[in-house]
A and B are shown apart, each in its own frame.
Chain A
Amino acid sequence: MAERGGFGRGFGGRGDGEGGRGGRGRGGGRGDRRGGRRGNKSEEEKWVPVTKLGRLVKSGNITSLEQIYLHSLPVKEHQIVDALTKDLKDEVMKITPVQKQTRAGQRTRFKAFVVVGDGNGHVGLGVKCAKEVATAIRGAIILAKLSVIPVRRGYWGNKIGLPHTVPCKVTGKCGSVTVRMVPAPRGAGIVAARVPKKVLQFAGIEDVFTSSRGSTKTLGNFVKATFDCLMKTYGFLTPDFWMETRFSNSPYQQYTDLLSKQATKAILPPTEEIPPVEV
């Protein structure tokens, strides 16, 4: 290996032991200078956001997931969802071994299905394959958090109390499995097979009738079809949405304008119209 990049050599190759010192020293310097808080190194505060949306969430400019859903911004960091939702529960639905035939025998990996949700309109589904069970579960939780979607709930009949069922008949499909959800009166409960029932409970739907078709034995597809069905609840145009939308600035534009104006804190008028996005 004739060539060697010298960047590390230029520093004399400080090893791992310097990591803590550098971090603490840096915190010290900043603390002295700005009087800011010293990092107390809990897991929470170690999050260094990667995307623009992450930076906005970390700085507290975005306070709810609904602002993200309104503009259909892709969520690329699971810490965003952690920061914006309270009490998000997760559950492993299944871990199956998945095998691949190699010349030296079979290679087994584990596939984990995890559903996360807060029981109040937000649910996410994550699927991850990994060589070890624990890695698969951790990865699936992260993927589930990245896929959290809002679930629209409505009424079966009288609009008394809080919404408890799906707003209309919706159907979702994955592979050969189609799942159809039909609004149910209060007290009907979730009438579904065991696997989609779990997902619907996490979503916060209290009463629903379901009907499924296709090879529901492939439970991976079954649970994904249910999830797809829930995604469609907010995509269905009902007369409530007939009113013309008033467009607002996406958080990116809103906060760019604000911060570039050199410390004036006035709310700026919307600068441009954004084309309608599907939520």
Chain B
Amino acid sequence: MGEVILAMPGQWAHDYREKADHYTSKIGGLPDWPDLDIPVSGKLLLCDFCGGKLCLVAQIYAPLSMAERSIDERVIYVLGCMKKDCGSNPQSWRVLRLQRCKQDIESKDEPLKAEQPEEESTSVAEDKPTSQSSSVKVCDDEDSDSDIDLDDLAQALEQAATLASNSKKQDGTKHTRKIVEGPVAKKLIDDLTTPVLPCFYIYSQRNSSEGRMDKANFVGGSSISLKEIEKSSGNESEGESWEGEAYEYDKALGADRTYLKFKKQLDAYPEQCFRYSYGGNALFPVANVPKLGACKICGSARRFELQLMPPLLYFLQEASDDSSNFSIDGWTWLTIIIFTCPKNCCSGTCDEKSSNSCRCIVEEEAIVIQDD
């Protein structure tokens, strides 16, 4: 439960408006709503502050497995407003949690179109890790800086996908499989009014041990060696002695101890786009944190689920150099911390439907911490 999963940037989408499925985790682009009985209401997609349309910042597929039930169809959408003044206003951010309440026994079995699987889809069945890793190893062996042969990659993913679908047909299901899906063609979502951020896909990586952080702290080109230290410590003949030193917390002119700890975690994995740790502890860059509200439906105190990190902004800004439809320079947040209801409650209406599972959308809370 305390383990942190980092989201690293993957492939860019070929077109920012292209359609993925709601099992994909991605940054930017247009939101992929699963088939809903009632479409997402317009009010939820508008900014509270200026009334303009919100754009999708992150779509995260976050299934849960709890003791009583497991919710496999659970997606979190983070929406933000791109207008100039809304960037620093916490009211203009919205987090939606969309989940299917009752669990189907048979999961959806998407037919595989194996023609040109794009590398974007990142949900892979996990029951056959060895076979998958062997097929994907084609790419891992390359350690040169040359371009990856994308055909090889496509082929490898194709193999993994066919394996996944075959295994599903064979065994009984213990977990719900998430199957690699290759979209048939790059379908675009026909929504030209919503602002769209550059889109790239996400893959996950576990936060590994401390050794990584020490390596990351290495500053290249330092002119100090340990031998020099021993030499200089021998020069104490003049009667100087450094007395009375006590432990001191890290401090710099512009950065305090809390921020330096935040930065240290970032330096370990400089490209992390968000940190996911269901029920874990958030990484706060400042010491005082505004108070959290409680869940509107069940009243329980919200719990940390994930937080967006600044490299995300950097990647989006880099990509936005060509296109000029929007500006995210109004965004100066250091991190956006998202808290969700621990009981994963849903709005009352879904109890009425008995047999079918229904989907409900619940609004969750986000704390935006600014970079002064």
Contacts and interface: CB of A to CB of B under 8 A. Distances in A.
A38 B146 CA distance: 9
Contacts of B246: 98
Interface stretch (B46-54, B251-259, B348-356): B251-259
Interface residues of A, number: 93
Interface string B316-336: 010100101001011010100
B92 interface: no
Interface residues of B, number: 106
Given A12-B124, A259-B327, A20 B66 contact: no
Contact of B253 (A16, A47, A149): A149
B262 to A, nearest CB: 9
B67 A109 contact: no
A38 B311 contact: no
Interface string B351-372: 0000000000000000000011
A7 B219 contact: no
A174 interface: no
User: Looking at A8, A137, A262, which has the most chain B CB atoms within 10 Å of its CB?
Assistant: A8
Contacts, number: 277
Nearest to A141: B219
A92 B224 contact: yes
User: Looking at A18, A96, A143, which has the most chain B CB atoms within 10 Å of its CB?
Assistant: A18
Contacts of A20: 140, 143
Contacts of B133: 17
A5 B276 contact: yes
B203 A3 contact: no
A16 B248 contact: no
A89 interface: yes
Main secondary structure of the interface of B (DSSP, over half): loop
B222 A90 contact: yes
A160 interface: no
Interface in B56-108: 60-67, 70, 72, 74, 84
A260 B245 contact: no
A213 interface: no
Contact of B330 (A30, A128, A218, A256): A256
Contacts of B259: 76
B223 interface: yes
Nearest to B70: A6
Contacts of A7: 5, 7, 25, 60-63, 204, 276, 278, 306
A15 interface: yes
Contact of A3 (B67, B243, B252, B255): B67
A26 B330 CA distance: 26
Given A10-B61, A95-B229, A3 B247 contact: no
A269 interface: no
Interface stretch (A50-58, A179-187, A201-209): A50-58
A259 B329 contact: yes
A24 B142 contact: yes
A220 to B, nearest CB: 5
B327 A260 contact: yes
A92 B229 contact: yes
Interface of B: 1, 5, 7-12, 14, 23, 25, 60-67, 70, 72, 74, 84, 119, 122-126, 129, 132-133, 136, 139-140, 142-143, 145, 147-148, 150, 153, 178, 200, 203-206, 208, 214, 217-220, 222-224, 226, 228-229, 232-233, 238, 240-248, 250-255, 259-260, 263, 266, 270-271, 276-280, 305-306, 310-311, 313-314, 317, 319, 322, 324, 327, 329-330, 332, 334, 371-372
